[in-house]
Structure 1
Amino acid sequence: MGNICGKESDAFAQPGRRLGTTPETPASVPVPASATSPKAKVGGPPRRLGGDSSADTSGSSPDEARRKAALAAEARAQGNKGGDLGKKLADQRKLTHRATLEEASRKNLREREVDAVTETLRAS
């Protein structure tokens, strides 16, 4: 097995080192001048998150955006009541604790009956 993304080289082509020794480390590591500059600056004008500032020519205010977001959240909350998964969740919420236990008991009883029938068929 080999490394798919790495360089294709033989790991045993270079001479090894003895156990208990550490590889040689250089005395100093070169650091680029841009990393040591005290005034490292990210350029460009500030932008709003969530979109390209050059494409935003509608001139909408933050209040308008907040209002639209609130309306979308309300629509999502109202619209998620449909669908199979939503119906199943609503049915589960309607069940009381006692009804849930009774349903589990009935299911367990049916499983035992099926097991008994299969055991009877195997024995005969």
Structure 2
Amino acid sequence: MGNICSRASNDPEAFSSPGRVVGTNPSNQSAAPRASVPAKANWKNSPGRTLGDSAGAQGDSDEARSNAAIAAQKRAETASSGNKGKLGSKLAAQKAKTQTQTLNEASETERATRAQDDQREVAAYQ
């Protein structure tokens, strides 16, 4: 059948030419520009630092931590105080219902919808 997808103008096959020695640059490509190598740093002798630790910011982090703790305490107090608002009271009422009550309520709603549909059909024929 032949190779119908290939053209004579395509590049030669990748492995048709002889290889090169590892560590040498290919002859047909120019060397890409490289970033300069940084000067040697004496990082082996430095003690390093703990993550998150910065000079002079210790007081700021303590203050932020205490503010976050105060805010969390206030949120906990308002959640436990019973002042849930309109949506919170609706949710509490839904949670208090049993499965039977929920199914009966859904059934009543469906019956009312069907009754309204029947009334519309009767009114349309009159």
Tell me the TM-score normalised to structure 2 length: 0.48
Question: Which structure has the larger Rg?
Answer: 2
Tell me the TM-score normalised to structure 1 length: 0.49
